[in-house]
């Protein structure tokens, strides 16, 4: 694969790339650059964390990138996930890896690394402390968004240290590229600031799109990346997210009541599902409807879908019915895996029990 093809593939992943020129230079000088993504094991994965992440990671792998997935168990502990129970957090991490295997991520080509395995490494902590020494508390607090927190919240001392550790992860993992969501942008930019000052490098930031929740978008004055974070799917609002082990009935119910106003394509979650998941996975979208309502449609691109929907030539209920079928088809292999595979079944049962008891 030539450099321009690799670059175009990565650009499909990156809603924002800082910077594209640096990425091009990296691809020209290094055969297999290292990218990393990290995740807090914090419960059931929703479709943005499952299918969308699979799509993005597989594209990065296809472009020749060596990918490291950072299982941030200690970070989940610091952020009080699963009631602050570290063993439960680690079980959830195993469940999430099992989910990615089931949904088609090329997990055999990925290095899954656990934060717990570097916590006794002096060199790791030297990086963390040097980053902390190079910044004020105010500067670090501005990165609190990466934990799903706002600057105005009262943060624990552990949560103040969290961004310093996440920044250190990039250099400890020798990551040339940070490939995380737009909600992680602030700490990635911190890494670009401090890297050269501390004798490291300036990582390329490839930030992927944050898939919207299914509810009506909140009215705020936020714009750009901050607006995207505000709109993103959240497991704290379970009826506005499709989870990777949801039943067909769950999927039908959630999509049926999802926000999808006629003729509106901006900030429309059903259109987002089509653009970022269905067209990526299936390459086209088929709409079944009676002849009196225009007959069946076979749309070969998102642009065609957006055009007819904005013109009022496609009713939201017809679109929702089609989207339900496609999403259920993507989720079905995951449900089957957790029903038939004994290890996966046990992990899912444990995760469900954690949510009941916490």
User: Are 185 and 286 in a shared domain?
Assistant: no
Mean pLDDT computed over 73-83: 89
Prediction pTM value:
0.90
Q: With residue 38 as reference, give the H or E element that holds it.
A: strand 34-39
Return the residue matching tokens 């700490």.
187
The average pLDDT across 94-116 equals: 95
Note whether residue 213 is domain-resident. no
| Both tokens assigned to 2 | 């030539």
Question: What's residue 61's pLDDT?
Answer: 97
Strand 110-114 and strand 177-178: the pairing is unpaired
159 in the same domain as 40: yes
**Token duo for residue 252:** 């039908």
Six-digit token string for 132: 């902390």
215 inside domain = no
Domain match, 30 and 105 both: yes
pLDDT at 78: 87
User: Above 50 in pLDDT, residue 351?
Assistant: yes
Residue 212 in domain? no
Domain shared by 240 and 111, yes or no: no
Looking at the structure, do residues 308 and 336 belong to the same domain, yes or no? yes
Cα-Cα-Cα-Cα dihedral sign, residues 215, 88, 50, 2: positive
Q: How many domains does the chain have?
A: 2
Per-residue model confidence as pLDDT tens digits over 146-196:
767 665 667 888 888 889 999 999 999 999 999 999 989 999 999 999 999
Q: Indicate whether 56 and 177 sit together in one domain.
A: yes
Do residue 201 and residue 250 come from a single domain?
Answer: no
> Do 351 and 307 fall within a single domain?
yes
CATH at residue 86: 3.40.50.620
DSSP states of 95-109 as a string? HHHHHHHHHT--GGG
Q: Give the closest residue to 343 by CA, choosing from 95, 51, 42, 107.
A: 95
Alpha-carbon 97 to chain mean position: 14
Which helix (DSSP H) or strand (DSSP E) does residue 110 occupy? Answer: strand 110-114
* Range 263-280 average pLDDT: 96
CA angle at residue 269 from 278 to 53, to 5 degrees? 50
Inside any domain, residue 217: no
Query: Looking at residue 159, what is its pLDDT?
Result: 82
- Residue 326, pLDDT > 80, answer yes
| pLDDT confidence of residue 358 | 41
Domain that holds residue 51: 3-207
Q: Are residues 261 and 315 in the same domain?
A: yes
**Pairing, β 297-299 against β 285-287:** antiparallel
Q: Residue 33 — very low, low, confident or very high, per pLDDT cuts 50/70/90?
A: very high
Q: What is the mean pLDDT of residues 103-121?
A: 95
């Amino acid at each position: 694969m030539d450099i321009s093809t690799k670059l175009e593939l990565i650009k499909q992943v990156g809603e924002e790339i800082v910077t594209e020129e640096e990425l091009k230079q990296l691809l020209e000088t290094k055969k297999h650059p290292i990218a990393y993504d990290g995740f807090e094991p914090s419960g059931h994965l929703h479709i943005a964390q499952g299918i969308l992440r699979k799509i993005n990671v597989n594209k990065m792998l296809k472009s020749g990138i060596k990918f490291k997935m950072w299982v941030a168990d200690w970070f989940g502990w610091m952020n009080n996930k699963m009631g602050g129970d570290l063993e439960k957090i680690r079980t959830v991490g195993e469940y999430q890896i099992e989910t990615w295997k089931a949904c088609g991520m090329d997990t055999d080509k990925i290095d899954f690394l656990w934060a717990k395995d570097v916590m006794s490494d002096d060199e790791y902590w030297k990086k963390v402390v040097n980053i902390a020494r190079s910044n004020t508390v105010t500067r670090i607090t501005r990165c609190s968004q990466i934990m799903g927190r706002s600057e105005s919240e009262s943060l624990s001392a552990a949560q103040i240290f969290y961004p310093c550790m996440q920044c250190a992860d990039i250099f400890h993992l020798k990551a040339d590229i940070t490939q995380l969501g737009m909600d992680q942008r602030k700490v990635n930019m911190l890494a670009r600031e401090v890297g050269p000052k501390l004798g490291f490098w300036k990582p390329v930031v490839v930030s992927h799109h944050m898939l919207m929740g299914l509810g009506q978008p909140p009215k705020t004055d936020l714009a750009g990346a901050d607006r995207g974070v505000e709109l993103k799917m959240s497991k704290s609002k379970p009826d506005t997210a499709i989870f990777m082990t949801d039943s067909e009935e769950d999927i039908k119910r959630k999509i049926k009541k999802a926000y999808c106003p006629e003729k509106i394509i901006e900030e429309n979650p059903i259109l987002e599902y089509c653009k970022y998941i269905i067209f990526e996975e299936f390459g086209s979208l088929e709409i079944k409807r009676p002849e009196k309502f225009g007959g069946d449609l076979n749309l070969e691109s998102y642009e065609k879908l957006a055009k007819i929907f904005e013109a009022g030539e496609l009713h939201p209920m017809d679109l929702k019915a089609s989207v339900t079928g496609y999403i259920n088809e993507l989720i079905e292999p995951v449900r089957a895996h957790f029903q038939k595979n004994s290890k996966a079944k046990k992990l899912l049962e444990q995760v469900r029990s954690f949510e009941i008891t916490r």
